[in-house]
Structure 1
């Protein structure tokens, strides 16, 4: 597609699903922030609309600078999501596969949708009753670790590279039974392979790139990428500059190398995006907030078919949700 055609298509705002941002932790640190339009956030309601983002997954992240992670920190971010994001931003909660199926079928217009994920189970304090509570409150994705060890498993920067504890293995079983989906971004390599073996539900890497292209431990090896593909999971390409290029200076076209590599491994139908907006303090130039998604769509359309681009921006994520979210209670 030539540049003029790509620009015209992108301006139609291809719908977007973004599987990771950290706006909630910023709201917890500064409750005076206005989610709708505050320049202190990368992700605002205004920018989501400008970028055509129909689904945004909001991570509940417990910063190390807050001291020992507590369940209270999780509940406070869920309440901030409800009061400041869902209400003021006009986002509907996406919790059930029936809702995702309607989105996949193009039957839902109007305001966008928000999802909740937990980035690191530290704040669950080893208590599966707490896990049940956050499921009932709408959390649907669970990242087992941040970068370091917790009660369930080792993170990717934990030097011993351990796997799951006994409590962690019980957590995997609970997630599979309850319908809580698992996220391997930040998980140690040993933990990744243990989860891949123990989980009978497809899992995701919400915000990780290809290590063969950028050699960062938070990116995935080719074998890990193949395992996510084989499990019918999803890989959310992220806009963290130091996960995109080895020198940490990145432009949008640098993402194409990761796309090409993952597609060469068989991942055309398994790619999506997980920006990590509000979790970074430097940005891919030209991708500083979700309002720039149309420019990314325009770039992709110059190199790939409309069908593939629509899949990467939205379709692959929604089809995963329609198959794997839990069913709504009758």
Structure 2
């Protein structure tokens, strides 16, 4: 069964590798081309993520470096990787092709410049998360003790996203920031988050947040990182399915997707260690849900709720 994976950090690994890694088959990449192909991942979203220790005046440059790796290493050397620039591009993928879409994880890279965001949009970014875990000029992240919401600049970014049919991603946002986004975002999503009810972690969403996101037509893509799945040390595929089941109980059976966070995580669900193992997850889901429901989680819910 084909899959759309809403989040990975392969571009960060490629950038840190300084040209030593091959997107085709480097074993260091959980989402390398061969693994995506084996796992039947039909489209992969590639996050631009700038590590906090990068000096502020170098962050936009680092974002452009990661975009260059996307164009040269991901697309340029693998003809079957096809960039998604328009929401209708998903429908035009051929049987042998894998779609590749740029996203932005935290707007630290753009400084205080909407022009920089527009540049990234022109380069193909179609989903924007306002923060990583900490505060920036747009909002507070999920781990910021202050817990503040969106700044005026943050609200300007959401309006830019609305005007350009860009998704506004609430994964990593503070709770107050989440509710500010709900008030004004036309296209909210959670690209890689689980349920706080089952795992008390600040990166997960509470029931009232989940219901509000569903009411706005947004998707939640479940994440494969064990600390977001269970409060125990290890996590199984069945543990992720419990989060999906809980999301269904909140009315979201048609608004659940997948957001692995591969290449950005350090521990793994048993049997789901990289993209090549993705069908293990699908096969387990089919034991609990109908084929149409699983197709929804895997790709169709995303296609049904993308901007028109």
Q: Note whether the superposition's TM-score is higher than 0.5.
A: yes
Matches within 5 A, 1:82-101: 82-89=71-78, 90-100=80-90
d(CA) in 2 for partners of 1:303, 1:226: 22
Displacement after TM superposition at 1:98 (Å): 2.4
d(CA) in 1 for partners of 2:11, 2:196: 28
Displacement after TM superposition at 1:88 (Å): 2.1
Per-residue Cα deviation, 1:116-136 (whole angstroms, up to 9, x for no partner): 100000010110011111101
Picking from 285, 301, 305, the partner of 1:300 is 285
Partner residue, 2:61: 72
Partner residue, 2:163: 177
d(CA) in 2 for partners of 1:266, 1:71: 39
Root mean square deviation, CA, Å? 1.2
d(CA) in 1 for partners of 2:8, 2:243: 20
Partner residue, 2:204: 219
**Contact (CA 8 Å) 2:11, 2:66: kept in 1 or not?**
yes
Which fold has the larger relative contact order, with Cα–Cα distance below 8 Å and residues 6 or more apart in sequence? 1
Q: TM-score, normalised by structure 2?
A: 0.96
Displacement after TM superposition at 1:319 (Å): 1.9
Q: TM-score, normalised by structure 1?
A: 0.90
Matches within 5 A, 1:1-330: 14-30=1-17, 31-68=19-56, 70-89=59-78, 90-100=80-90, 102=91, 108-199=94-185, 201-321=186-306, 324=307
- Does the residue aligned with 2:194 lie in a helix, a strand or coil? coil
Displacement after TM superposition at 1:182 (Å): 0.6
What is the count of residue pairs matched by the alignment?
Answer: 305
d(CA) in 2 for partners of 1:88, 1:251: 35
Displacement after TM superposition at 1:271 (Å): 0.3
**Contact (CA 8 Å) 2:12, 2:48: kept in 1 or not?**
yes
User: Which consecutive residues of structure 2, in runs of 5 or more, have no partner in the other structure?
Assistant: none
Per-residue Cα deviation, 1:43-74 (whole angstroms, up to 9, x for no partner): 10000000000010000010123333521011
Displacement after TM superposition at 1:40 (Å): 1.2
d(CA) in 1 for partners of 2:298, 2:224: 14
Displacement after TM superposition at 1:167 (Å): 1.2
**Contact (CA 8 Å) 2:48, 2:102: kept in 1 or not?**
yes
